[in-house]
């Protein structure tokens, strides 16, 4: 995971990632979590933003295929995918979370011709639902070949790995939960005891806070 530690440091330093064991954060899904990640914060910090974009481009370039198109998930990864596509001089599209309620009722925005190799950019991987749903839309609605999802950060939940395997797609996060905890421990933001407690979250997120 090249650049993983540096990205974890950036996320913590600019406040994109917040850690709190007691009290934990409550996600929209109701899950109690010791970590909250808002990668939109990176957009406001040029040095961090440029580092992340370069890392995303490097990861895409290291894949087994040269993509024809870069896609992003709406709304969080639209900006990242557009920046990557611009830097790579490739076409860009994005995928809505649900179809338009008017007009063509499509999920894919942009000019995507059938038969293209597409790499999907995601800002954050939690359960994997958003990414896999977007992959399915690109395949069914767009007639694309999608084998890879490149993301900034992963909570490293088992469910995301399972969904990716079922959909025959590989996940490529730049940084992840384990690396973040290592950095938090090094910086004294969490004690070793707290790290051990927080580490259990990825294995059983639905019950960790209970």
Nearest to 146 by CA among 75, 64, 57: 64
**CA–CA distance, 58 with 34 (Å, rounded to integer):** 30
Given this model, what pLDDT does residue 99 score? 86
Q: What is the pLDDT of residues 115-174, one digit of tens each?
A: 999 999 999 999 899 999 999 999 999 999 999 999 999 999 999 999 999 999 999 999
- Domain-by-domain residue ranges, the chain? 4-208
**CA–CA distance, 17 with 7 (Å, rounded to integer):** 11
> From 3.40.50.300, 3.40.50.2020, 3.40.1190.20, 3.30.43.10, which CATH number describes the 4-208 domain?
3.40.50.2020
Given this model, what pLDDT does residue 180 score? 95
Given this model, what pLDDT does residue 1 score? 53
Question: Which contacts qualify for 96-105: CB closer than 8 Å, 24 or more apart?
Answer: 97/73, 97/130, 97/133
Low-confidence residues of the chain: pLDDT under 50: none
Given this model, what pLDDT does residue 157 score? 92
């Amino acid at each position: 995971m090249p650049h993983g530690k540096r990205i974890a440091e950036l996320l913590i330093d600019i406040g994109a990632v917040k850690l709190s064991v007691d009290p934990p954060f409550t996600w929209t899904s109701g899950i109690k979590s010791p970590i909250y990640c808002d990668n939109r914060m990176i957009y406001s910090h040029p040095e961090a933003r440029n580092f992340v974009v370069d890392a995303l481009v490097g990861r895409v370039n290291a894949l087994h295929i040269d993509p024809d198109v870069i896609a992003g998930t709406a709304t969080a990864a639209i900006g990242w995918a557009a920046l990557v596509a611009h830097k790579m001089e490739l076409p860009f599209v994005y995928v809505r979370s649900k179809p338009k309620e008017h007009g063509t009722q499509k999920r894919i925005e942009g000019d995507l011709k059938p038969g293209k190799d597409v790499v999907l950019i995601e800002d954050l991987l939690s359960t994997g639902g958003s990414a896999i749903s977007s992959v399915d839309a690109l395949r069914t609605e767009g007639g694309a070949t999608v084998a890879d999802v490149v993301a900034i950060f992963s909570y490293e939940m088992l469910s995301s790995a399972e969904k990716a395997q079922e959909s025959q797609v590989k996940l490529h996060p730049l940084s992840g939960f384990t690396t973040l905890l290592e950095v938090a421990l090094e910086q004294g933001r969490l004690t070793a005891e707290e790290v051990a407690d927080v580490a259990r979250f990825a294995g059983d997120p639905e019950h960790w806070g209970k």
